[in-house]
Structure 1
Amino acid sequence: MKKKVAFYTLGCKLNFSETSTIAREVQKEGFERVDFSQKADLYVINTCSVTENADKRFKSIVKQAQKVNPEAFIAAMGCYAQLQPAELAAVDGVDLVLGATEKFKLNQYINDLSKNDQGEVHSCEIEDADFYVGSYSIGDRTRAFLKVQDGCDYKCTYCTIPLARGISRSDTLANVLAKAGEIASKGIKEIVLTGVNIGDYGKGEFGNKKHENTFFELVQALDKVPGIERLRISSIEPNLLQEETIRFVANSNSFVPHFHIPLQSGSDEILKLMRRRYLTDLYRDRVAIIKKAMPHACIGVDVIVGFPGETEAHFLETYEFINSLDISYLHVFTYSERKNTLAAESLDVVPLPVRKKRSKMLRVLSAKKRRVFYESQLGTVQKVLFEAENKEGYIHGFTENYIKVRMPWNPELVNTIHNVKLTEIDEEGFGRFQVLELVEVG
């Protein structure tokens, strides 16, 4: 009988890409992968520590696994496992904790799945996380997350990622192109580029700060890989999103008009406290350049509310700044204190009820921005790539500029691209459309 393994991923697209790659390696060892809700011999949880909420979810996920199989071996890996290994090892039911580099050696630790009285920890000093391990995720036949970069050299005062993932380092251009080719050969139509700080792409391993290639060179090279219908850039720092990259995307073969650019605050004073590497003038300039080159482009924005020292005036400055920008949606994060960060040492704490109130205000603004963007696209013809999941009787898809559409479930549409004319927005905020032409059948 094959032993069964189940994976659960918390956090970002980068975590998903690494989980998928590690899972494929475990399957090569003879394990059968099953859904996390099913009975398995081994449960693996890839952790996140960007917010306090991700930390709290870990215990509930362990309990979920124990409920299905109390005798299962449970392993934790990833960012939270690197930052707080002893804390995870002490959680009832956890048998193994693997840090930033050890997670890629999971196979070496699962020959014996006997339960442990105490979680066994294998966690490196973060300075040793200076080599690169490539990965890509395949969750369905539609989209893949391709890791091109890891770690971060920035010192933002609220962030633990450099402590969890180490220095900035990248895959070689040849390796990235080879993996993109592999993904395309599997019939996957969209690749999302991911990493911790992908605009910093090109730095080598082992502390080599020289850029062997630039992010712009990566974009140019990927655009020539045959068989890829779509390439999408995930979150990229505004100071690293160069005008030449924007102009290239506007005229490329496969890069789509969608950018996700972290802002974090619309107050220059707060940006300086955060130690961000730009001010609002630069951010406004990047948005203007994108919209001039691609008026139909979708622009997503990350923002943090309740950062220490954020007064009501600072928040209103942020609100008005975002409101003035031609952007499409927000990802709103309520600030949470993280151990071993400068911001957590501040005594100028914003009360939690105030943080929640400000978060709600920005989420409402996000809904308005998204609605305005969707309405601006009504009457236009867009290419929609339909996804594989049946969600309550509907099939969903995304246009190139990230408008989410849906129609009644039809399995024949999975992994196909249609030209559609956006006709209306339904009561739940999805785009409705008229199908004009079947472009490709998967």
Structure 2
Amino acid sequence: MVQNKKVAFYTLGCKLNFSETSTIARNFQQDGFERVDFEEPADIYVINTCSVTDNADKQFKQIVKKALKINEKAFVAAVGCYAQLKPEELAAVDGVDLVLGATEKFKLTDYINDLSKNDRGEVHSCEIEDADFYVGSYSIGDRTRAFLKVQDGCDYKCTYCTIPLARGISRSDALENVLRNATEISAQGIKEIVLTGVNIGDYGKGEFGNKKHEHTFLELVQALDKVEGIERLRISSIEPNLLKNETIDFVAQSRTFVPHFHIPLQSGSNAILNKMKRRYIRELYAERVSKIRQVMPHACIGVDVIVGFPGETDEHFLETYYFLQELDISYLHVFTYSERDNTEAVEMPNVVANNVRSKRSKMLRGLSVKKRRAFYESQIGTSRTVLFESENKEGYIYGFTENYVKVKYPWNPELINTLHKVTLTHIDEDGAVRIQFLE
């Protein structure tokens, strides 16, 4: 049945989703399918969904349409967070044949025995309590970096978030599995690994709801630092209360971990952090930033922030704005609060009008542009190491320094996936930094 069958994938959402899509794709390839680009005709289109923003819901329908435009007889399967939260809704979308929940997505190939179209999507979802086992995964994207999943699920009960409903309890990969995956990745010539998960600072909680920490996050980074062949390791988003001083100190002197942290703040107002049920106050956040600056003055620090949360007054928003303005950080990821079914926040009074939400979002995005510019300016004249990426963008090759400054250089295919010592010379009009080679 599988002979010469083609499968294509589309991933919405986070790095974790990308790592899981890659793992599902490898399962298909092991079963004899040929993987093709989403823009090409395929027998099966797999869409890995996200539920974090409103847009992800709308995008799903457009992607299904796009797939069926390429091949109207194609079999369409939906997996991922939105598929777990609202399986019936996805199954009702025209042209969707199969919807798999959190426990089933890695068994997708088992469900595909007949590729004929269904009148309505067939749903195999689970109670999220059943998602208590761990499936390791990693993705290899543009040949220069890979996303390595080390943890899944979350035990936090933030009032705006559906991730615990979509992914279940916090659980981690065994340390030896993570190290094996890291070794496999480095054997493929990939220079940078980004550690990913839902709440990676919580790493160490075992499978099947075993809450005992087998290993801590610090032990994980210490062990990964010793893996041969990896040039760079990057920690993706990590909660401020779980980013311990010992980890910051270790990164500062490690062989492979780069000086780049992405730490969600969500609000600079303690009153709003409390309503969000976040597990820290702004003072702790400021301490973390100051600790990083103390041991790694040149580090890049990114921040997630949500605007327009129910009850966020102008005063609360300005607290956030001024807090971030004063903080020595490098860029912001700004999210406009969007209502999510089955969350506490959706029932909260004092809803912020949409036009106010977008105005606040615009203000913080403007602040982010200034912060990034100031950070890049602070790096001009310094020597850094750049890992070059694989795309030719209008005659230039781009890459990132260890501290996440985006650089550009006239296109030269020999630079792809190589590391070079450079001096940062000046900021170009597109915002990327020009360089001079040191060797």
TM-score band by shorter chain is over 0.9
Aligned-partner Cα distance in 2 for 1:347–1:276: 19
CA–CA distance in structure 2, aligned partners of residues 29 and 189 of structure 1: 29
Alignment partner, residue 220 of structure 1: 222
Alpha-carbon offset, residue 393 of structure 1: 2.9
Task: Write out aligned runs for 1:218-297 (5 A).
Answer: 218-297=220-299
One-letter amino acid of the structure 2 residue matched with residue 74 of structure 1: V
Q: Distance in 1 between matches of 2:430 and 2:412?
A: 20
User: How do residues 317-336 of structure 1 correspond to structure 2 at under 5 angstroms?
Assistant: 317-336=319-338
TM-score with structure 2 setting the length: 0.99
Give deviations 1:226-270, integer Å, cap 9, x for gaps: 100000000000000000000000000000000000000000000
Query: Structure 2 residue aligned with 1:116, among 112, 115, 118?
Result: 118
Identify the residue that residue 67 of structure 2 maps to in structure 1.
Answer: 65
Instruction: Compute the displacement of 1:394 (Å).
Output: 2.2
Aligned to 2:403: 401
Corresponding position of 1:381: 383
Shift, 1:392, TM fit: 3.1
Q: How does 1:351-370 map to 2 (within 5 A)?
A: 351-370=353-372
Corresponding residue of 2:94? 92
2 CA distance for matches of 1:262 and 1:307?
A: 15
CA distance in 2, matches of 1:33, 1:244: 43
- d(CA) in 1 for partners of 2:370, 2:185: 36
1:391 CA drift (Å): 2.5
Aligned counterparts of 2:56 and 2:411: Cα–Cα separation in 1: 32
Distance 2:412 2:33 in 1: 32
Instruction: Work out which of the residue numbers 156, 170, 173 in structure 2 matches 1:171.
Output: 173
Percent sequence identity is 78
Classify the secondary structure of the residue corresponding to 1:124: coil
- The yes-or-no answer on 1:105 pairing with 2:87 is no
Structure-2 separation of matches of 1:382 and 1:424: 14
Matches within 5 A, 1:78-227: 78-227=80-229
SS of structure 2 residue aligned to 1:199 = helix
3-state SS in 2 of match to 1:259: strand
1:121-155: CA deviation from partner (whole Å, max 9, x where unpaired): 00010000000000000113210000000000000
- 1:112 Cα shift? 1.2
Q: CA RMSD in A?
A: 0.7
The aligned counterpart of 1:52 is: 54
Letter paired with 2:90:
L
* Offset of residue 389 of structure 1: 1.9
Q: How does 1:411-422 map to 2 (within 5 A)?
A: 411-422=413-424
3-state secondary structure, aligned to 1:390: coil
Pair 1:392-2:394 in alignment: yes
Equivalents in 2 of 1:52, 1:397: separation in Å? 31
Could you report, residue by residue, the CA deviation over 1:91-116 in whole angstroms, capped at 9, with x for unpaired residues? 00000001111000011011211100
Q: Give distance in 1, aligned partners of 2:253 and 2:125.
A: 45
Amino acid at match of 1:4: K
Q: Which residue of 2 aligns with 1:337?
A: 339
| Matching residue's letter, 2:428 | D
- Alpha-carbon deviations, 1:262-282, whole Å to 9, x = none? 000000000000000000000
Deviation at 1:390, TM superposition (A): 2.2
Q: Deviations over 1:137-174 (max 9, x none)?
A: 01132100000000000000000000000000000011
Measure the CA separation in 1 of the matches of 2:142 and 2:360. 36
Counterpart secondary structure, 2:392: strand
Paired residue secondary structure (1:388): coil
CA distance in 2, matches of 1:59, 1:393: 35
Paired residue secondary structure (1:350)? coil
Unpaired runs of at least 5, structure 1 = 438-442
For 2:322, the aligned partner's letter is E
How far apart are 1:408 and its partner, in Å?
Answer: 2.5
Structure 2: segments with no counterpart, 5+ residues:
none
* Alignment partners' CA distance in 2, 1:111 and 1:325: 55
TM-score, normalization: structure 1?
0.98
Change (3 A) 1:390 1:110: farther
Match of 1:2 in 2: 4
Amino acid at match of 1:255: F
Q: How many correspondences in the alignment? A: 437
Which whole-Å CA distance do the structure 1 matches of 2:241 and 2:180 have between them?
A: 28
